[in-house]
């Protein structure tokens, strides 16, 4: 089969399923087809990764370079994302069976899926913006699906921040396009001229803010801990696994890696490290296991940002590979853990161990437990982060991750089903096991890309020790948390959002004031006077023209 045709199918399949949803019988059965929708994308990614020369590209408007293309980071993320989407789709078919509004869920799922796969392959500003907007906005339907007051509030907060992110990015893209001399809108081209742009600082700030918001970097991470607990389980898995990665691929695609912007790199690293620690601090005082996982996602994305920042500072493209591998591991492992939460809730306490042990392995993988995939991800990042202060802070953050994940395991175990005979449905269990294995093993297949040899890694004791000590430290901290954790203050989900509780009242006051203005303006004499004033205002400047 022609590879470009397969490439086109990767996006066309979910779109075709979407169109099929216009037909009611198809819509009602769509949930069980969700597992198939991402498979062509998975195939594309596999072929592209196996044969590095075969990167596909589809140009719709060659003059302006509008179209789709794939590169190595895109292929890695596309592949693992498609895997998670597929597994989560299968999970959703069981999870939502018999519940109302499955058709609506499927529509939003497919919309989000289309956008989410699209961001990894979009080659130009407009396609990227389109797919990014699609994944951001359509995910609202997943967040607010349950339509409870809590879900509606989460939906509003999610959408508000998503739209703010869109606006920041739109501004950034306009600046990019204006600064680029040619007609081409290809991301490579416009980013290549970014370092000479007169608006370099504004563009970078907007890009980091816009993508950082999606990736969950502090202080714009607040939507994560609100949205994830509200969404149904499979939706949380893709939100935390894939959708935040749209921010990461954005940073990868749009930052000028060869320019050596040391100040900006330092800033991004700083933001990332602050997020990594801050999210741990906020996460350990949460009780809902999904909220804890959400904070863990923010913390992990902080580390990815730190990796990318180090690369940006010195103009090192290795950081992109390291960040991609790290993100790919997180994508699979975090998706798997969210699915596990659903399995916990459906499993009796005494049957919990077969789920809890693999979940613990994955959870500690975020801290770099050898020989999980997380260990490899950490190793890939090690040369980029260096052995100085940043490297040390990253290791400490791993200790923090351990603490947070042990807290998660406690909370998750506590959420087991009270029914002693409860047993999770097979349709929930096998996707979770699939993802568990993928998260454990797949990163090792990526090791050669990051310049690592699995064998030599596993036989180097100093490397093993460097992966183990943060976990031990985190374990000690976890014991401390068990002992004294009750004394910590409770923080509401979405920590900083509490500062804005008064804002609806303010907005309302402004709205009322404008309404009164409108009543006044629409009085006949006032409108007549306005027209006369308008005439004179238009006329007088013309007269005074030199």
Q: How far apart are CA 342 and CA 174, in angstroms?
A: 42
Please state, in angstroms and as integers, the Cα–Cα distance from residue 170 to each residue in 39, 123, 134, 166, 456, following that order: 31, 16, 14, 6, 46
Give least dist CB 435 to other proteins, A: 30
Hey, which residues between 235 and 264 contact other proteins (CB under 8 A)? none
Q: How far apart are CA 226 and CA 285, in angstroms?
A: 15
Q: How far apart are CA 100 and CA 349, in angstroms?
A: 29
Residue whose CB is less far from other proteins, 155 or 431:
155
Q: Does 519 bind other proteins (CB under 8 A)?
A: yes
Phi (first) and psi of residue 123, to 5 degrees = -100, -15
Point out which residues pair with 67 in neighbouring strands: 59
The answer to whether 302 and 272 have CB atoms below 8 angstroms apart is yes
Binding mask 30-69 for other proteins (x = CB under 8 A): -------------------------------x-xx-----
Residue 403: closest CA among 374, 435, 367, 351: 367
Give least dist CB 122 to other proteins, A: 11
Residue whose CB is less far from other proteins, 476 or 534:
534
Residue from 5, 480, 509, 526 touching other proteins (CB under 8 A): that is 526
Q: How far apart are CA 247 and CA 176, in angstroms?
A: 17
Quick one: which segment of 78-86, 124-132, 366-374, 435-443 binds other proteins (CB under 8 A)?
124-132
Q: Does 531 bind other proteins (CB under 8 A)?
A: yes
The answer to whether 169 and 128 have CB atoms below 8 angstroms apart is no
Q: Does 455 bind other proteins (CB under 8 A)?
A: no
Q: Does 351 bind other proteins (CB under 8 A)?
A: no
Q: Does 12 bind other proteins (CB under 8 A)?
A: no
Concatenate the DSSP letters of all residues of 186-211 into one string.
Answer: BHHHHHHTGGG-TTHHHHHHHHHHHH
Please state, in angstroms and as integers, the Cα–Cα distance from residue 532 to each residue in 326, 521, 524, 528, following that order: 65, 14, 13, 6
Residue from 476, 479, 509, 527 touching other proteins (CB under 8 A): that is 527
Residue whose CB is less far from other proteins, 152 or 351:
152
Q: Does 174 bind other proteins (CB under 8 A)?
A: yes
Find the helix or strand (DSSP H, E) in which 66 lies: strand 66-69
Hey, which residues between 154 and 173 contact other proteins (CB under 8 A)? 155-156, 159, 163-164, 167, 170-171
Alpha helices in 96-148 (DSSP H): 102-121, 125-143
Quick one: which segment of 327-335, 379-387, 430-438, 507-515 binds other proteins (CB under 8 A)?
507-515
Give least dist CB 325 to other proteins, A: 31
Q: How far apart are CA 183 and CA 471, in angstroms?
A: 52
Residue from 130, 314, 361, 464 touching other proteins (CB under 8 A): that is 130
Q: Does 514 bind other proteins (CB under 8 A)?
A: yes
Residue from 287, 445, 503, 523 touching other proteins (CB under 8 A): that is 523
Q: Does 533 bind other proteins (CB under 8 A)?
A: yes
Quick one: which segment of 205-213, 286-294, 481-489, 518-526 binds other proteins (CB under 8 A)?
518-526
Q: Does 459 bind other proteins (CB under 8 A)?
A: no
Alpha helices in 216-243 (DSSP H): 223-230, 233-238
Give least dist CB 541 to other proteins, A: 4
Give least dist CB 231 to other proteins, A: 15
Residues shown for the chain = 546
Q: How far apart are CA 159 and CA 241, in angstroms?
A: 18
Q: How many CA atoms lie within 13 A of 156 on its CB side?
A: 8
Binding mask 83-122 for other proteins (x = CB under 8 A): -----------------xx--x------------------
Q: How far apart are CA 357 and CA 363, in angstroms?
A: 10
Point out which residues pair with 216 in neighbouring strands: none
Q: Does 511 bind other proteins (CB under 8 A)?
A: yes
Residue whose CB is less far from other proteins, 114 or 401:
114
Q: How far apart are CA 205 and CA 391, in angstroms?
A: 25
Residue whose CB is less far from other proteins, 184 or 240:
184
Q: Does 205 bind other proteins (CB under 8 A)?
A: no
Q: How far apart are CA 392 and CA 386, in angstroms?
A: 9
Which 3 state secondary structure label does DSSP give 348? strand
Which tokens in the block code for residue 357?
Answer: 């042990």
Crossing angle of the two packed helices 72-95 and 39-50, in degrees rounded to 10: 150
Q: Does 518 bind other proteins (CB under 8 A)?
A: yes
Q: Does 529 bind other proteins (CB under 8 A)?
A: yes
Q: How far apart are CA 155 and CA 142, in angstroms?
A: 9
Residue whose CB is less far from other proteins, 102 or 309:
102
Taking the alpha carbons of 161, 494, 340, 105 in that order, is the dihedral positive or negative? Answer: negative
Q: Does 503 bind other proteins (CB under 8 A)?
A: no
Which tokens in the block code for residue 351?
Answer: 């049957």
Q: Does 368 bind other proteins (CB under 8 A)?
A: no
Residue whose CB is less far from other proteins, 178 or 441:
178
Q: Does 137 bind other proteins (CB under 8 A)?
A: yes
Residue 415: closest CA among 298, 332, 292: 292
Residue whose CB is less far from other proteins, 389 or 521:
521
Give least dist CB 537 to other proteins, A: 6
Q: Does 153 bind other proteins (CB under 8 A)?
A: no
Residue whose CB is less far from other proteins, 461 or 522:
522
Give least dist CB 19 to other proteins, A: 12
How many residues make contact with other proteins (CB under 8 A)?
Answer: 60
Positions in the binding site for other proteins (CB under 8 A): 61, 63-64, 100-101, 104, 126, 129-130, 133, 137, 144, 147, 152, 155-156, 159, 163-164, 167, 170-171, 174-175, 177-178, 181-183, 510-511, 514-515, 517-519, 521-539, 541-543, 545-546
């Amino acid at each position: 089969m022609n590879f470009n045709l397969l490439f086109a199918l990767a996006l066309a399949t979910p779109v075709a399923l979407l169109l099929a949803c216009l037909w009611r019988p198809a819509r009602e059965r769509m949930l069980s087809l969700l597992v198939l929708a991402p498979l062509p994308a998975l195939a594309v990614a596999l072929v592209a990764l196996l044969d590095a020369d075969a990167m596909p590209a589809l140009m719709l408007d060659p003059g302006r370079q509008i179209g789709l293309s794939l590169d190595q980071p895109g292929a890695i993320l596309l592949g693992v994302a498609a895997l998670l989407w597929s597994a989560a789709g299968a999970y959703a078919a069981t999870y939502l069976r018999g519940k109302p509004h499955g058709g609506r869920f499927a529509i939003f799922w497919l919309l989000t899926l289309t956008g989410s796969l699209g961001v990894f392959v979009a080659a130009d500003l407009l396609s990227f913006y389109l797919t990014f907007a699609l994944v951001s906005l359509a995910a609202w339907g997943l967040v607010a699906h349950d339509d409870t007051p809590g879900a509606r509030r989460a939906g509003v907060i999610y959408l508000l921040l998503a739209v703010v992110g869109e606006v920041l990015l739109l501004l950034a893209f306009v600046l990019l396009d204006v600064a680029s001399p040619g007609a081409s809108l290809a991301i490579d081209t416009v980013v290549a001229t970014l370092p000479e742009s007169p608006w370099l600082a504004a563009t970078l700030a907007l890009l980091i803010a816009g993508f950082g918001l999606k990736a969950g970097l502090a202080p714009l991470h607040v939507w994560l801990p609100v949205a994830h607990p509200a969404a149904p389980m499979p939706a949380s898995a893709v939100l935390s696994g894939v959708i935040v990665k749209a921010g990461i691929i954005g940073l990868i695609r749009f930052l000028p890696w060869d320019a050596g912007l040391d100040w900006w790199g330092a800033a991004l690293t700083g933001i990332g490290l602050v997020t990594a620690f801050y999210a741990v601090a906020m996460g350990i005082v949460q009780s809902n296991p999904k909220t804890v996982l959400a904070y863990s996602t923010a913390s992990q994305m902080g580390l990815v940002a730190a990796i990318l920042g180090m690369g940006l500072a010195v103009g090192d493209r290795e950081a992109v590979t390291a960040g991609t591998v790290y993100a790919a591991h997180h994508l699979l492992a975090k998706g798997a853990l969210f699915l596990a939460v659903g399995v916990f809730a459906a499993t009796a306490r005494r049957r919990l161990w077969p789920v809890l042990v693999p979940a613990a392995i994955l959870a500690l993988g975020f801290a770099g437990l050898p020989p999980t995939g997380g260990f490899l991800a950490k190793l890939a990042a090690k040369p980029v982060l260096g052995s100085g202060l940043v490297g040390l802070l990253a290791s400490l953050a791993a200790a923090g991750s351990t603490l947070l994940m042990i807290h998660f395991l406690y909370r998750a175990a506590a959420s087991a089903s009270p029914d002693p005979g409860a047993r999770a449905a097979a349709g929930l269990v096998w996707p979770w096991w699939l993802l568990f294995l993928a998260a454990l093993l797949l990163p090792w297949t990526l090791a050669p890309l990051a310049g690592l040899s699995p064998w030599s890694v596993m036989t180097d004791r100093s490397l093993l020790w460097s992966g183990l000590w943060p976990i031990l430290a985190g374990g000690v901290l976890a014991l401390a948390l068990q002992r004294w954790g009750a004394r910590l203050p409770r923080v509401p989900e979405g920590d900083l959002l509490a500062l804005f509780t008064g804002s609806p009242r303010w907005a309302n006051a402004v709205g009322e004031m404008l309404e009164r203005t409108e009543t006044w303006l629409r009085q006949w004499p006032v409108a007549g006077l306005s027209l006369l004033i308008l005439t004179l205002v238009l006329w007088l400047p013309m007269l005074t023209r030199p």
